[in-house]
Each structure stands twice: as structure tokens, then as C-alpha cells.
Amino acid sequence: MIVVDFIIKNILTQASITIALIAMLGLILQRKSLGQVLSGSLKTLLGFQVLSAGSSIIVGSLIYFGKIFTQGFKMQGIIPSIESINGQAMNELGLGREIALTFLAIFVFNILIARFTRWKYIFLTGQAILWMATMTTIFGYFAGLRGLVLVLVSGFIGAVFAVAMPAIAQPLVRKITGSDDIALGHFCTIGYLFEALIAKLFGEKGENKKSTEDLHLPTQFEFLQDTYLSLMVVMVPLYLITAFFAGATFSTRLAGETNYLMFAFLQSIQFVVGVYVLLAGVRLLLGEIVPAFRGIAMRLVPDAKPALDCPVLFPYAPNAVIVGFITTTLGSILAMFVLPKFGLAMILPGMLTNFFAGGTAGIFGNAVGGRRGAIIGGVAHGFFITLLPALLVTIFNQMGFVNATATDVDTVVAALLYAWIIGPILKAV
Amino acid sequence: MKQLTILFVCGAGLGSSFACQMSAEDVLETLGVKARLDHSDISSAVSMQPDIIMTGQNFQSQFEKFAIDEAKTSLIYLKNIVSKAEIEEKIVPVLIQKGILND
């Protein structure tokens, strides 16, 4: 009994161990050598711990930012960050193991759905599955589900999204890539379709459609494709201006010996450090799991289409990506000021999402409604992807997550589905 | 003979470079070429000095600004970064030039 007790208390409650065991299972199923099984599992374990470390760095920087923002602008500004929600869920709610198992369950259900239905999509964007698992698990937990039921229900809902999102985007992805052999696996798809719809209504039509790709954008914009560089370019002024508005007295109290503006500058870089570390962790974590999943899935579902991360589409319309990033950022800044007027929270632009989701949405807008479609659709997209997280803030606050919200709209929709539909049904039963 | 190293690059070094790596893995397997594959973000890529860098066409202008010694590192740009046909078509000449494959 002591042994079993030890296993339950010390091994299965550690999310990093759970996820390493999942990777181990995948490697064993592929009949890898003992050395490969061990090194792969250890790399996954390391990746998970690096991810958590990055998440703490981000949270530390955001706590500082939250203080100066509240002081400077007399309102609550929230930087949406699924990473910090993931960190809080693991550390404070102790849901790490459930999230890791839900992650596995989404994979398994995804293969089953692809195997037995017409929708042959295998979702291979690991980090997106992890964020989806985070959201469905947290919301399932607050709807009162526990243990195995929680993992199965959250996993099933996540898997339905993992198949449905690539499926609804496919007609447009076909149009963009000119082929049917890849699909889009990224949980911002509802936003892309929203942009496509706006582009259809307000964009250029038929003969008059001019593509963004015939534009000559200034080459100075190209650095924006470098994720960490473009993050710094936005975060540095954001922190500096906020610290300035918070005033020297207040900011100096937080900065201690360092000059308060220098401190704000370093904290903004610290935020990017957090993102960098977190993504390095994700890279290590997924390095073994995704190929294993792909190998198993392709064997069980031979005619499957891989649903891949959004930058796969970037080479097809690089200008549309830049246009999409800029217009989405404009839309999200607009929403930042407008939403509080309607009693909603003030959501600061989440730059990572603005770039990846905004860029991809720009490609959709351009494909449907040309330049005008990409521009008008982009601003509307920025507004849309700020509105949904704002709706989630109140729900998160009730759960005890202080001023937190997530970004990727499909995961937000999954959460709202739980909060507005599944939760009330469960409570009624 | 040092083992051939190939680096796959995208903006964050997470999703699409990894997808490209998995496609290339299949291609190299059919060609019977052994290589060490890795993926990274564009900021880190400059300092890694692999034998080959594979990335999307949208990064071409940025790579041209970097001081990458083309004699050491060959750059390959892809339009569809997961297309095995395109990867094969573009990597074979480079491998022949490096003396890894025979014509």
C-alpha cells in the first residue's frame, strides 16, 4: 500500500511526470529503442519544467505591469495570457495532472473521430492542444466535473474542436494554398471566418479584387515576422509609457534602487524573456509527443489530412500577414478603449495573438475580399478577438483568477460554451 | 565525416518549422540520407551555423540581411513548407553539391 500511496501522491500529481509518461507511451508504441524512449521522455519532462519557469517569469512581469497600469490609468487593464492561466491552474488549483491527461485525451479522441467519421483531420499543433486542454479542464472543473469524467468530457470537447475547426476552414484554405493536402490547425479559426465574412460583405468583389500581394510594402516592416523582436518593439513603449503615467513616486516604490523608467524597461524585456523561455519549453515538450502522435495517427487513419500551425500559410501571402497584423492591432486598440464604455473589462492588445491570428486572418480577408477586405476585415477581427476575452473576464473573476483572460478565440468559445450552456445543464441535473 | 545538420526556421520556432522538419524527415528517409534535424526561431538561427537552413519564402528578405556564410550554410526557401515534393526538388541539388548524394 505504501508504494501505491507514494505513486499516487508523488508521481501522478506531478503534471510534468504525467506528460513525460504520455511521451514514453508514444515512443514505446512506435517501438523505439530503450535509449530513445529514455531520452525522449526526459526531454519532455525538461520541456514541461522549462514551460512552467517561463510562465512564472511572464506572471511576475505582468503583476508589476498590472500595478503601474492601475495606478497610471485608474482602471484595470488586462493582458490576456493563456500562459498565466495555465500557470495558475497548475499551481493554485492543482489541475496540472488533469490538464496533461486531457491533452492526451484530445489526441486519442481526435484519432477516433478522424477514423470513424468523414472529417479526416489530425490536429498537429501541439501547443494549441495544450491551451485547449487548459481551458476545457478548468471550465469542466468549475462546472463540477472531477477525476476521470472531467478528463473524458474535456478531452472530447477539445477533440470536437480539433476536428471541426480545420473542417470549417478548409474551403478557404483550399482557395489560399490551391491544394487539398494540408489543413489549418490553429484555435483562432472562428476569428478567421469572422474576418472572411466581413471581407465578403465590405471587400472588393469579382473583377475589382486586388490582392495585397501586388502591393510593395516597405521592407522596414519585415522585421515584424521575427516574433520576439516584434514583441519587444511593442512591450517596451507600453511599459515605459505606463510607468511614466503611474508617476515617479509610485513607480520608484516598485523599482527600489533602480531608476523607475529603467526598471520598467527591464521588466518589459523580462516579459519577452518569459515568452521566449516558455516557447523553448513548448518546443522541447512537443519534440517527441507530436511525431509520435503523427506516426500513430497516420497508421490508424491513412487518408488523414494534417492540420498544421497557422504560419504554414504565411508564405502564400506574406503581405497579407503584415496587413493583417497591423489592422488587427488597430482593431484591438479600438476595442481596448470602446469596451470599458459598455461596462466590460479593458483588454490590452495581446501582441502574440495579434501577430499570428491577425496575420492568418489577413490572408483569409485578402483571399475573400482583396485589399479592402483585408483592411476592413482586419480591424473588425481585432475588435472581435478582444471582445470575446472581455466576456470571459467576469467568469474568470468568479473563479478566483484575478484579472486574467485567454486569447485564442476557439478556446474562449469552448470556455463560454461550458460557462453558458454545459455548466447550467450540469447544475440543473 | 561530420554528420549533416539541417535547421528549420520560422518566426517563433514552434509550429510551422516543426511541421516542415517532419516532412523533410520523410523525404530524407526515402533518399537514404542521415542528418541531424532541429527547428528554431529566426533570432536564434543566425548563430547556429548548420549545413542547411530551410525556411518559408516569407523570410527570404530577412535572411539576406543576415551575415550568413553561404559557403558553409546553404539556404533553402519554400513556398509550401510541408510539401514533400517541393522539399525534395530543392534539397537534392544542395545535397549533390555538398557531395552527400551522387547524381
Does A262 have pLDDT greater than 60? Answer: yes
Instruction: Decide if B15 and A290 are in contact by the 8 Å CB cutoff.
Output: no
Give the residue extent of every domain in chain A.
2-428
Q: Which of A193, A227, A185 is nearest to A353 (CA)?
A: A227
Instruction: Decide if A294 and B22 are in contact by the 8 Å CB cutoff.
Output: yes
pLDDT at B52: 94
| Best of B14, B20, B37 to mutate (most A CBs within 10 Å, chain A) | B14
> Which residue type occupies A256?
G
Using a pLDDT cut of 70, give the percent of chain B over it.
98
Instruction: Give the integer Cα–Cα distance in Å for B27 and B35.
Output: 11
The answer to whether residue B10 is domain-embedded is: yes
Instruction: Decide if B79 and A219 are in contact by the 8 Å CB cutoff.
Output: no
Instruction: Decide if A228 and B10 are in contact by the 8 Å CB cutoff.
Output: no
Chain A residues with CB under 8 Å of B82 CB are 182, 306, 308, 312
| Best of B7, B8, B9, B16 to mutate (most A CBs within 10 Å, chain A) | B16
Nearest to B19 among A127, A283, A309 (CB): A309
The answer to whether residue B52 is domain-embedded is: yes
Instruction: Decide if A279 and B10 are in contact by the 8 Å CB cutoff.
Output: no
Across A165-185, average pLDDT? 91
H or E stretch covering A346: strand A346-347
- Per-residue pLDDT tens for B13-26? 877 888 899 899 99
Range of the domain at B22: 4-98
| Rounded alpha-carbon distances, angstroms, from residue A319 to A314, A336, A362 | 9, 26, 9
Number of domains forming the structure of chain B: 1
Q: Which of B42, B29, B44 is nearest to B91 (CA)?
A: B29
3-state secondary structure A366-419: HHHHHHHHHHHHHHHHHHHHHHHHHHHHHHHHHHCCCCCCCCCHHHHHHHHHHH
Q: State the maximum Cα–Cα separation within chain B, in Å, rounded to a whole number.
A: 36
The answer to whether residue B103 is domain-embedded is: no
Give the chain B residue whose CA is nearest to the CA of A320: B58
Q: Which of B30, B26, B57, B52 is nearest to B39 (CA)?
A: B52
User: Is residue B42 within 8 angstroms of chain A, CB to CB?
Assistant: yes
pTM: 0.84
Q: Which of A63, A180, A165, A96 is nearest to A124 (CA)?
A: A165
> Which of residues A428 and B85 earns the better pLDDT score?
B85
Lowest mean pLDDT among A91-105, A136-150, A225-239: A225-239
Domain with B22 in it: what CATH number?
A: 3.40.50.2300
Across A360-374, average pLDDT? 95
> Which of residues A179 and A104 earns the better pLDDT score?
A104
Mean pLDDT of chain A: 88
Which segment, A57-61, A124-128, A165-169, A227-231, is predicted with the most confidence on average? A165-169
- Per-residue pLDDT tens for A308-319? 888 888 888 888
The answer to whether residue B12 is domain-embedded is: yes
Per the CB < 8 A criterion, the answer to whether A158 and A136 are in contact is yes
Instruction: Give the integer Cα–Cα distance in Å for A61 and A129.
Output: 25
The answer to whether residue B39 is domain-embedded is: yes
Instruction: Give the integer Cα–Cα distance in Å for B71 and B27.
Output: 24
Using a pLDDT cut of 70, give the percent of chain A over it.
98
The CA R_g of chain B, rounded to the nearest whole Å, is 12
Instruction: Give the integer Cα–Cα distance in Å for B79 and A344.
Output: 42
- Per-residue pLDDT tens for A1-10? 677 777 766 6
Across B47-51, average pLDDT? 88
pLDDT at A266: 95
